[in-house]
Amino acid sequence: MNASVLEIGGLSVYAGEVVALLGGNGAGKTSLLETILGFRSAPGPVALSGRDVSAMAVEERAALGVGYVPEGRRVFAGLTVRENLEVSSMAPAAERRRRVEEMLTLFPMLGERPEARAWLLSGGQQQMLALARALMNSPRLLLMDEPTLGLAPVVVADLLRRLPQMAADGMAILLAEQRAVLALGAASRGVVLSRGRIVRTGSAAELAADPALADLMAGG
């Protein structure tokens, strides 16, 4: 098994895998992501690559390789695509420029409009920009909060298709989603939350075939 990248409260995420974090509204998915990021205090240890980061600030955890795609995208509306990417990087200028060009190549819909203001982009383009921005610092752990919300099916399919490809390069991805079937289609494992507690874990195939999954998801 690959090395553990994240350990928190009975949840483990390993390098090279996508884990679907499932649950309905109020289940605690966003709260868990914010705890990992350092926006909320944790009742127990939070370990990144075996290191307890519970006492570390948000920016320190980011520097250790945590990337975040928040719900609602939250791109900088008044900045261009290129500027959104540039301001998200902590690398020296030359490396930052190289990474920007890499993201524009990786996401062709952004590469076609690098000087467009973010507010002029479609919802799908903004979501790809949010993902590209999170990838600018080559994270070891990528946290994604409801990334498919409000997107057209073709954009959702493109987004979720990319996740196993990124994990194959060694990244660990924790994907928080209400749309269980879609999330499990991109994941190798799944974890179901209800009221902030893990109530079910299993392989993606096991959970997708579980007739009780809908009831678990409705538990909130």
pTM of the predicted protein model: 0.92
Domain 4-75+140-217, CATH homologous superfamily name and number: P-loop containing nucleotide triphosphate hydrolases (3.40.50.300)
CB 178 within 8 A of CB 27: no
Average pLDDT of every residue of the chain:
92
Per-residue pLDDT reduced to its tens digit, 107-117: 999 999 999 99
pLDDT (0 to 100) of residue 214? 80
Domain boundaries, the chain: 4-75+140-217
CB 100 within 8 A of CB 91: no
Residues of the chain with pLDDT under 50: none
Half-sphere exposure at residue 197, Cβ-oriented, CA atoms within 13 angstroms: 3
